[in-house]
Amino acid sequence: MKEGHVIKATEGTSKAIAGLLKSSLEKKIFEAVLVPIRTNKEYNYVLTDNIDLLNKAEIMPPVMSVQGGKVLQALTRHGKSRKIAAVMRMCEIRAAIELSKLEQTDLENVFFISVDCNGVTPLSDYLEDPSCAGKKFRPLCEICTSFSVVGDEQAQDVDIHAATMGVDKGQMLLIPMSTDGESVLEKLGIDKKQDAGNWVKQTEKLQKQRTAAREKALTKTKETIKGLNGLVEVFSRCIECYNCRSVCPICYCRLCFSDKETFRETGGEYLDRAQAQGVMKCMDEVLQFHLGRMSHISLSCVSCGMCEDACPVDIPVGQIFSVVAERSQAIFNYVPGKSSDEAQPLRTFELDELTEVEDK
Amino acid sequence: MDRKIGVYVCECGPNIADALDIDRVIEAVSGLENVAVVERYKLLCSPGGKKYLAEQIKEHGLTHLVVGACSPKQHEATFMGVCEEGRMNPFLMQMANLREQIAWITPDKEKATERAIRHMKAAVRRVRYHAPLEQKEIECNADVLVIGGGIAGMSAALLLSSPDRKVFLVEKNTELGGMVSRCEKLFPDMARGSEITESRVKSLKEDENIEVLTGTVVENVLGFFGNFVVTVREKESEPQEFKVGAVVVATGADLFDPSALAEYGYGKIKNVVTAPELEEMNLKGNITLENGNEPKSVGIIHCVGRKEKGYCSEVCCRVGMKISRYLKEKIPAVSITQFYQDLCVPGSGAQAFYEKTRNTGVEFVCTEAVKLSGSVEKIKIDHDGKIDTVDMVVLLPAIEPAKDTSEISEMLGVEKGKGGFLTEEHEKIGPVTTTVEGVCLAGTVSGPKTVRDAVSQSEAVAGKILSSLVPGRKLETEARTSKISESLCTGCRTCLTVCCYSAIEYDESRGVCVVNEVLCKGCGNCAAACPSGAATHQQFTPTQIYREVIEILR
Amino acid sequence: MTKKQQKAKEQVLVIGAGMAGIEASLTLAAADKKVYLVEKEPLFGGKVIKFEEVFANMECSTCMAAPKQQEVLQNDKIELLTLGKVKEVQGEAGNFVVKIEKKARYVSLEECIGCNECFEPCPVSLPNEFEENLGERKAIYIPCPGALPNIPSIDTENCVRFTKGENCQLCKEACMFEAIDFDQKDEEVELNVGAIIVATGFDLMDPEQISDCGYNGKANVYTALEMERLYASNGPTEGKITLRNGKEPTSAAMIHCIGREKAGYCSGVCCMYSFKFIHYLKDKLPEITLYDFYSDLCMPGKSYQPFYEHLKDKTESVRFQDLKIAHQNGKVRIKYKSLADQDKTLDVDMVILAPAIMPAKGASELAGVLGVEQDENGFFGFQSSDRSPEESGRDGIYLAGCVLGPEDIGKAIAQADAAAGKVIALLG
């Protein structure tokens, strides 16, 4: 990735990429594109082949009102789409790839364009004061290490990456990441190449900084959830609205375990419990929900922070889940969303795995 | 629902009665929801005890039963039988193991009583959520498909044949007989080889219950045990379809190609042949060199390809000895040396065969490695530094899986295992069955073996099929199977990847997975693996387990 | 056909309730045959239940056998007759009349619950044959923990009531279920069956009959079955490997091919179980130095050599000709000739012998009773490739397992199902 294809970006990243998408629609390289569009004060993903509409496109909007992975799930779950291009943040692409392993997205006809990401502003902050866009970021964004195509989380299914960091103002470098990506750039006639050394330097530098910051921050978070008391404390103000679950791209179950009859006891059973304990808080299912969800999704968590963004009572649920996710993913050396070829650990059996727990 | 749970604690003599305070257990359980009666009894598994329980069920109109006694392994079947006697669904019964899991391992009576109370409460809580499962009966077809017309396939077909059961024997070549028909004689008694297959072929052709289809391949096998639909095709003709209840795979194996190993010079040095090539010469009547002369000295090399394959093919040592007998019969003055790594002669007659062979003047040399080189009309055999020169070399190659093993594996859903051969259900106690019920293996398709063992396996397959697929008898299915909720299934197919019985299918049109209740063995893998909780084991639902565990931990 | 003959066709006799006999019985019962499963011992399961683990998957042996045993006990169509011996066989295929001598157990199968309370008071102690004489038992006994049926029997050759005519009632007094009944009598049971399957298994060659193998029952030279009982978690030492003096061995040698020359054949499974012992010994004593003496490695089949490859680093493999074992200063001295004809000596703490597998004791007598062929080594049936291994030479009588030659468990099970298949095809 030492060099990239140069395009003009004198009017900014968004216009540049929108221009690219317009050409590709004109040249019938794609049948439609999936991009965020600005309407009034909101940003929504649209699937469109309308070139004029792309004038309203806002690539890399300051807020993430819906996780791109969830959008792709809705669009492709019941069958492949026709050839479309999707412009998304790395965490959204990774979520989509992770979902493909569970047959919830079909990415065969999806062409991914990723962009260097500075982060996303929390929704509540943005709604209160739109001017903080681009200045205030989600706590997880501040320690994100998958903001570009550098590092271990690099999503290998990306087709073109738009490099903006460390690139001369007024320009953008398009880096083809796959043979599909190369062929599209060729069809678009974008062949002027330029050295990307500066971008590589910049992104690697930021990667180092972020990695250190992430370790520090998550270590701190880990302290707060040590032991049962820590967990109870941290989740004490949870109102069980299930927002975190609703916005999470990985949570796609039709009926969550926490909504099932399994844990619903009869009045008599509750009273028996209360009698045995002396007192029983009604209803005491908060930890059961969060710990259960943690055990279900932690291998696939891409640390996007949607959950934390959506939490109405400001629980740092994204950071907490990221702590657990990192540890469980490390056990299997698994990076969620990195490659659609890498099967999920709990779906596959390897003879020589987890040997540390074996009887020797 | 008006549940009436009957709870009975067995004293098991002094075993339980002396180890814990049964009356306190009874007291603790009496007040629980839906409990209609709680009693103790001296020995519930005795004829008297069983009668008592059955009467209790009828007397109190019990809907569920909890028995605190010994291990379910010992008496679950007994008490399920009692339920049936009392005309209660046997799956609405739960046992609590108070003996092996409490009385026998908890010396402190107070602790034991406390544990027993927890376990009994847990069983009572759990049983309320049991469902009245039913064992189903399905019609089945008793006919059998045998794939492969070698000695194993033919033996299986002959033993299976009967007037009320048709056997379809499908062979891809135009002739039946397989490998054995290409051998003049077989070890250890040098009895007829090709004649054995000829006599079987004759019996097959005369047997009205067996339909022999040569020059035919099996294209597809759909369905499940008792209800397979098979498609076969003879060369260019139209495919033929028929129904069977079981499939026997007797497709044999191939031999390792020694041309892959430079040290044997196969295909490069003159007069280096493989064992089957020598068998062919022998069957035709003369064993000669390429120039037409008889060989005066022969080297027989064992273990060709053994290192590459990583296993010993069992028969080659004895095949080598048999070949030396052929040679001695036809060319009495020939000098023969056999080069081996380990002599494999297991069993009652094998060593005697070896000794007799040695007594005919055959030399046996133990050597680690052998390298052949050609020199004019002779062959030099370099073994551990020493050189022997011979006219002809016979290589004994390893037995390896047949080339179409992957196709057969996929078509039938039988996994490939050690050595790349199709894998049997269990190395020790399931040598001929597979994890796909109704599909059995016989002969070298599952690994190298002697003709004797191949015949044994084919008859074993017949035994299994004769006893499980009886004409006119319906198949009883396991009642405690898994179920997948259509509304909760997201079609992720994780269950498919963990089911070893090919009991789950993905329904494309509905985008969900479905359990085949006939094939499901109730192992619970799918229920454990399902990320969405759509798959549940009917006798181990999350609700049942949760209730049980909550009471134990309270 | 008479009613009796018709009934005979529905019934089968299986002699020997080891793994092969159990498998044959279950397959026959599934085909709706009534099976009489006769076993000479008071417990069933054969040799396999003496092992802790089986090669090559190193699965727990009793975990593998127990579910099959339970199936036999709970199957209405199978009648297990322990302490039974076949005395006479008349008739022909389709209609055999068999006389079985069934010794009295003196304990009621219905009343006894297996609490084991009757053992302690018994005044007679003697070496326990099941434990290969490494442990003791009483005259009223269950051969090992976990034995099935879990019901004791009284050994009339050692119980003082029978040997000395004393009126000892100590066991009966200790029983709370009135399960002990001294009035039980030996019975003669007559059965009418359509076919017979012989699965009487094997015994190891008596090492005391083999010269120069150093075995005297007192020194640190053990047979394979003794090793199995030492390692067994339900055995006399509960799995602890020690020398006769209680100390742990620092070195041990497995010696293959003991008695092979005398027997005249290779027993086929000893190389594999010797490797299994390597696994056993290294598991309990990680620091032990191991030697494996063999003449040829016999590991046929797709999974056996990989098993060896996996274990060979844990031992020194020594190829020998002419081996002699003696004792020297508390050690076991192995004198042997290497393949290069050099004379060598090795001293070790412990030696485990792999003796030849022979037809079970009493086999020749049984062959006579059944009227079946024996080969030159005493195994039943024929070695020819022209015949199925299960053929005995007499119509209606079939063979399975080590009675027809040394076999591994997988082959024995296949033979059992094959024999059952032949019976079902015969009787219809």
Closest chain B residue to C29 measured between Cα atoms?
A: B467
**Sequence ranges of chain C with CATH classification 3.50.50.60:** 3-103+186-201+360-427, 205-356
* Pairwise CB contact (< 8 Å): B310 & C176: no
Predicted local confidence at residue B321, as pLDDT: 97
Question: Is B541 within 8 Å of B119 (Cβ atoms)?
Answer: no
What is the rounded average pLDDT of the residues B119-136?
Answer: 94
C-alpha dihedral sign at B188, B191, B195, B196: negative
- Candidates A104, A276, A348; nearest CB to B490: A104
CB-closest option in C406, C414, C428 to B456? C414
Q: Give the pLDDT confidence score for residue B80 in this predicted structure.
A: 95
Q: What is the mean pLDDT of residues A280-291?
A: 87
Q: What is the mean pLDDT of residues B479-487?
A: 96
Answer whether B456 sits within 8 Å of C418, measured CB to CB.
Answer: yes
pLDDT digits (tens, 9 = 90+) for B77-90: 899 999 999 999 99
B174 near A CB under 8 A: no
pLDDT of residue B371: 95
Q: How does pLDDT run across A90-148, given as a tens digit for each residue?
A: 999 999 999 999 999 999 999 999 999 999 999 999 999 999 998 999 999 999 999 99
Each residue of B516-539: pLDDT tens digit? 988 899 999 999 999 999 999 999
Q: Under a CB-based contact definition with an 8 Å cutoff, are residues A88 and A68 in contact?
A: yes
Between positions 413 and 442 of B, the ones with CB within 8 A of C are 417-419, 421, 427-432
Which chain B residue has its CA at the smallest distance from A99's CA? Answer: B492
Question: Which residue from B minimizes the CA distance to C22?
Answer: B429
- Pairwise CB contact (< 8 Å): A103 & B531: no
How distant is the Cα of C264 from the closest Cα of chain B, in angstroms? Answer: 7
CATH number of C3-103+186-201+360-427: 3.50.50.60
pLDDT single digits (tens) C205-240? 999 999 899 998 889 999 999 999 999 998 999 999
| Tens digit of each residue's pLDDT (9 = 90 or more) over C149-193 | 999 999 999 999 999 999 999 999 999 889 999 999 999 999 999
Q: Does A78 touch chain B (CB under 8 A)?
A: yes
Query: ipTM of the assembly?
Result: 0.94
Helix (H, G, I), strand (E, B) or coil at B493: coil
Mean per-residue pLDDT for A332-359?
84
- Check residue C373 and give its pLDDT: 87
pLDDT at C7: 87
C257 pLDDT band, cuts 50/70/90, is very high
The fold for domain C205-356 equals FAD/NAD(P)-binding domain (3.50.50)
User: Does residue B188 have a cis bond before it (omega within 30 degrees)?
Assistant: yes
Contacts of A198 (CB under 8 A, 6+ apart): A166, A167
Taking residues B2-18, what's their average pLDDT? 90
Maximal C-alpha separation, chain B: 99
A283, pLDDT greater than 80: no
- Report chain A's mean pLDDT, rounded to a whole number: 91
Residue C4 has pLDDT above 80, yes or no: no
CA–CA gap between residue B490 and residue A74 (Å, rounded): 12
pLDDT, residue B396, reads 97
Would the pLDDT of B507 be above 90?
Answer: yes
- Give residues 26 to 45 of A whose Cβ lies within 8 Å of B: none
Residues 20-79 of B with CB under 8 A from A: 32-33
Tens digit of each residue's pLDDT (9 = 90 or more) over C6-36: 888 899 999 999 999 999 999 999 999 999 9
pLDDT in the model for residue C211? 87
Query: Would you state the pLDDT for residue B152?
Result: 97
Contact of A147 with A206, CB cutoff 8 Å: yes
Residues of B in contact with A266 (CB under 8 A): 33
- Out of A253, A262, A273, the one facing B532 most closely (by C-beta) is A253
Judge: B529–A346 Cβ closer than 8 Å, yes or no: yes
Strands (E), B160-310: 167-170, 185-186, 191-192, 210-213, 216-224, 227-234, 240-244, 246-249, 253-255, 272-274, 297-304
Tokens (6 digits) for B367: 């050597």
Q: Are B167 and B211 in contact (CB under 8 A)?
A: yes
**Given this model, what pLDDT does residue A1 score?**
62
Question: Nearest-CA distance from A15 to chain B in Å?
Answer: 38
pLDDT digit string, tens, across residues C295-311: 999 999 999 999 999 89
Nearest residue on chain B to C67, judged by CA atoms?
A: B73
The domain segmentation of chain A, as residue ranges, is 3-215, 218-348
pLDDT average, residue stretch A166-191: 92
* pLDDT over 70, % of chain A: 99
Query: What is the C-alpha separation between C333 and C213, in angstroms, rounded?
Result: 10
Residue A360: pLDDT band with limits 50, 70, 90? low
Asked whether residue A310 carries a pLDDT value surpassing 90, the answer given is yes
What average pLDDT does this structure show over B118-143?
Answer: 94
pLDDT band at A349 (very low <50, low <70, confident <90, very high): confident
Residue range C312-323, pLDDT digits in tens:
999 999 999 889
pLDDT value, residue B1: 59
Q: Does B418 touch chain A (CB under 8 A)?
A: no
Query: In this model, does residue A352 exceed pLDDT 80?
Result: no
pLDDT digits (tens, 9 = 90+) for B311-333: 999 999 999 999 999 999 999 99
* Domains in chain B with CATH codes: 5-133 (3.40.50), 144-252+402-468 (3.50.50.60), 259-393 (3.50.50.60), 478-538 (3.30.70.20)
Which of B488, B541, B546 has the CB atom closest to A263's CB atom?
Answer: B546
Q: Looking at the partner chain, which of C31, C32, C414 has a beta carbon nearest the beta carbon of B431? A: C414
Kindly report the three-state secondary structure assignment for every residue of chain A: CCEEEEEECCCCHHHHHHHHHHHHHHCCCCCEEEEEEEECCEEEEEEECCCHHHHHECCCCCCCCCCHHHHHHHHHCCCCCCCEEEEECHHHHHHHHHHHCCCCCCCCCEEEEEECCCCCCCHHHHHHCHHHCCCCCCHHHHCCCCCCCCCCCCCCCCCEEEECCCCCCCEEEEEECCHHHHHHHHHCCCCCEEECHHHHHHHHHHHHHHHHHHHHHHHHHHHHCCHHHHHHHHCCCCCCCCHHHHHCCCCCCCCCHHHCHHHCCCHHHHHHHHHHHCCCCCCCCHHHHHHHHHHHHCCCCCCCCHHHHHCCCCCCHHHHHHHHHHHHHHHCCCCCCCCCCCCCHHHCCCCCCCHHHCCC
Proportion of chain B above pLDDT 90, given as a percent: 87
Within 13 Å, how many C-alpha atoms sit on residue A184's CB side?
28
Confidence of residue B45 (pLDDT cuts 50, 70, 90): confident
Residues of chain B with Cβ-Cβ distance to A346 below 8 Å are: 529
Tell which residue, B172, B173, B251, B217, has the closest CA to residue B414: B251
Chains touching chain A through at least 3 C-beta pairs below 8 angstroms are B
Non-local (6+) Cβ contacts of B281 within 8 A are B273, B287, B288
Those residues whose C-beta lies under 8 Å from the C-beta of residue B153, and which sit 6 or more positions away, are B146, B147, B169, B171, B178, B248, B250, B442, B443, B458
Which subunits sit against C, judged by 3+ Cβ pairs under 8 A?
Answer: B
Q: What confidence category does residue A9 fall into, taking pLDDT thresholds of 50, 70 and 90?
A: confident
pLDDT by residue (tens digit) across B444-469? 999 999 999 999 999 999 999 999 99
pLDDT at A267 over 90: no
SS3 at position B15: helix
Q: Specify the 3-state DSSP secondary structure of B36.
A: strand
The token duo for A101 is 């392993």
Do residue B554 and residue A346 have CB atoms under 8 angstroms apart?
A: no
Q: Is the pLDDT of residue B287 over 60?
A: yes
Predicted local confidence at residue A359, as pLDDT: 67
Say what the pLDDT of residue A266 is: 82
Q: Are B336 and B297 in contact (CB under 8 A)?
A: yes
Q: Which amino acid is at B194?
A: S
What pLDDT is recorded for position C1? 63
The C-alpha atoms of residue B69 and residue B74 are separated, in whole angstroms, by 10
Tell the residue number behind the tokens 């190369």, with chain if given: A182
